[in-house]
A and B are shown apart, each in its own frame.
Chain A
Amino acid sequence: MGAEITLRDRFERGLAAPICLTWELTYACNLACTHCLSSSGRRDPNELSTDEATALIDEIAAMKIFYVNIGGGEPMIRRDFFTIVEHAVSRHVGVKFSTNGTRIDAAAARRLASTDYLDIQISIDGADALTSDAVRGAGTYDQARRAMDHLRDANFGPFKISVVMTRHNVGQLDDLAALADAYGAELRLTRLRPSGRGVDVWDALHPTAQQNRDLYRWLLDRPNVLTGDSFFHLSALGEPLEGLNLCGAGRVVCLIDPVGNVYACPFVIHDEFLAGNVRDRGFEAVWTESELFRSLREPGNPGACASCGSYDACRGGCMAAKFFTGLEMTDPDPECVFGHGETALAAKRVEIRPSPSPDHSRRTPVSLSAK
């Protein structure tokens, strides 16, 4: 019955299959959130077909991957969305999907409520329309709230409300928790990454050092608030937060994008972190044999963090946050709680940051009335 640290070390060496597999179904999206980590907007003509998608689910089931996190883009835009979800459930692969809620009307809510092993998270980025719409677009907060109302009215049960933490909504944590309580929903908070279009807004939106400390203490008091292990870089402040507290990229998590590309995690859609494509030899071959994933499962190099007494708590932080701010993998996390990341960023004087390789952003502004 090994100690917890042993288990964590095991995870860092990788598992037979991912614990957490994210699958972006489409790059198409009817919104244009400023921080979109997959730079979504336009559908890619090369996206997996319905047959390819159901075959992928069969492989996921054979690998005993218990559930997939489906996202996008807006996954409900795919006309075969329910076909894919219902196929997964029929193969005992649970589905949690992330949506902006715009396609959840009363009828869709009833259909979702009648499907077993289905979990939904609806995204808002603030406790009120003013705050949330500033990131997600005018009218999106009210649309998300209507989707929540429909799920409640359809007796869906406890869905999740998913919020990316920014410097404008950290002050609304109690209001967000109250909103979730009012729906009997679970609150899920995730970290803003400089990934995708997020690279353009990260400087202006990422929480301040003081806000990160406030968030850490708030989370410590609320172990039932979900974070997807998002804030492990804050565990360097003291007692570890709930979760595995490690970077799971290529070890316990990975991402399959709409065209079948497999990346190390949902926040690194970039050639540098591309492990392979499911169309070549299937997903399992990528997971077990990719050179990239094998190298990620080697013991990490603490680099600049080697002399820091808290390295074991934060393990140097988030790979994606470093990469897209122009830092090296051996640098501290840009939001290092001791300020070492800010020092590293200042020393680099980064002029050009890597941009995401595939950019599916729309070329023209989105009008919300357009479907």
Chain B
Amino acid sequence: MSLAPPVTFDAHAPWQLSAEVSLRDEAFGALAYHHGNRRLVFLKSPALVDIVRDLENYHTAADAIGAHVASSQQGAYERALASLARSEIIHGR
């Protein structure tokens, strides 16, 4: 299994869900599958799923997070998005 290329996640940059990714809603959040690198990733909260789907509508990832969760959770969701960026589920635009 090849390692993902190093991706720096900047929460103050614009991001979007990869066109190669399918999302399937589940009770815990969603499954995300990248058809290119065949990675299956679990989005472990419904709010994270909403944020990921909404990324393209905000100027920055931080704005998208702020629109969906309390500011006290900002850091945790930025870390979750950084992990999704490493798996190529989301990418900069």
Contact mask for chain A residues 5-49; partner B; CB cutoff 8 A; 1 contact, 0 none = 011001001011101000000000000000000000000000000
Point out the residue from A2, A19, A92 that lies within 8 Å of B28, measured CB to CB: A2
A10-B27, A92-B35, A94-B35 known; A2-B22 Cβ under 8 A: no
Residue of B nearest to A186 (CB): B1
Q: How far is the CB of A272 from chain B (nearest CB, A)?
A: 28
A67 is an interface residue with CB less than 8 A from chain B: yes
Q: Would B35 and A119 count as touching, CB distance under 8 A?
A: no
A10-B28, A94-B38, A186-B1 known; A64-B22 Cβ under 8 A: yes
Name the B residues within 8 Å of A224 (CB-CB): 1
The distance in angstroms between the C-alpha atoms of A191 and B87, with both chains bound, is 28
Contact mask for chain B residues 1-26; partner A; CB cutoff 8 A; 1 contact, 0 none = 11000000000000000000011111
Please report A residues at the B interface, Cβ cutoff 8 Å: 1-2, 6-7, 10, 13, 15-17, 19, 64, 66-67, 92, 94, 117, 119, 158, 186, 224, 226
Name the A residues within 8 Å of B44 (CB-CB): 1-2, 7
Q: Chain A binding site: helix, strand, loop or mixed by DSSP?
A: loop
Residue among A64, A66, A226 with most chain B CB within 10 A: A66
Q: Would A92 and B26 count as touching, CB distance under 8 A?
A: no
Interface residues of B in 36-71 (CB under 8 A from A): 38, 40, 42, 44-45, 48
Name the A residues within 8 Å of B77 (CB-CB): 1
The distance in angstroms between the C-alpha atoms of A221 and B66, with both chains bound, is 40
Name the A residues within 8 Å of B1 (CB-CB): 186, 224, 226
The distance in angstroms between the C-alpha atoms of A7 and B27, with both chains bound, is 10
Point out the residue from B22, B23, B26, B45 that lies within 8 Å of A15, measured CB to CB: B26
Q: How far is the CB of A57 from chain B (nearest CB, A)?
A: 15
Report the number of A-B residue pairs with Cβ-Cβ less than 8 Å. 48
Q: Would A92 and B24 count as touching, CB distance under 8 A?
A: no
Q: Would A64 and B24 count as touching, CB distance under 8 A?
A: yes
Q: How far is the CB of B37 from chain A (nearest CB, A)?
A: 11
Q: Would A16 and B38 count as touching, CB distance under 8 A?
A: no
Other A-B contacts than A66-B22, A224-B1, 5 sampled, CB-CB below 8 A, are A7-B44, A15-B31, A16-B25, A66-B24, A158-B2
Q: Would B31 and A67 count as touching, CB distance under 8 A?
A: no
The distance in angstroms between the C-alpha atoms of A91 and B38, with both chains bound, is 16
Name the B residues within 8 Å of A64 (CB-CB): 22-24
The distance in angstroms between the C-alpha atoms of A186 and B2, with both chains bound, is 10
A2-B28, A16-B25, A64-B22 known; A117-B42 Cβ under 8 A: no
The distance in angstroms between the C-alpha atoms of A13 and B42, with both chains bound, is 16
Name the B residues within 8 Å of A117 (CB-CB): 35
Residue among B23, B26, B40, B76 with most chain A CB within 10 A: B26
Q: Would A67 and B38 count as touching, CB distance under 8 A?
A: yes
Q: Would A7 and B28 count as touching, CB distance under 8 A?
A: yes
Q: Would A119 and B38 count as touching, CB distance under 8 A?
A: yes
Name the A residues within 8 Å of B26 (CB-CB): 10, 15-16
Q: Would B80 and A1 count as touching, CB distance under 8 A?
A: yes
Name the A residues within 8 Å of B24 (CB-CB): 16-17, 64, 66
Point out the residue from B31, B38, B48 that lies within 8 Å of A1, measured CB to CB: B48
The distance in angstroms between the C-alpha atoms of A213 and B40, with both chains bound, is 29
Residue of A nearest to B25 (CB): A16
Q: Would B45 and A1 count as touching, CB distance under 8 A?
A: yes
Q: Would B45 and A2 count as touching, CB distance under 8 A?
A: yes
Which 10 residue pairs are nearest across A and B when measured between Cβ atoms?
A66-B33, A64-B24, A10-B28, A224-B1, A1-B44, A1-B45, A2-B44, A117-B35, A15-B26, A66-B22
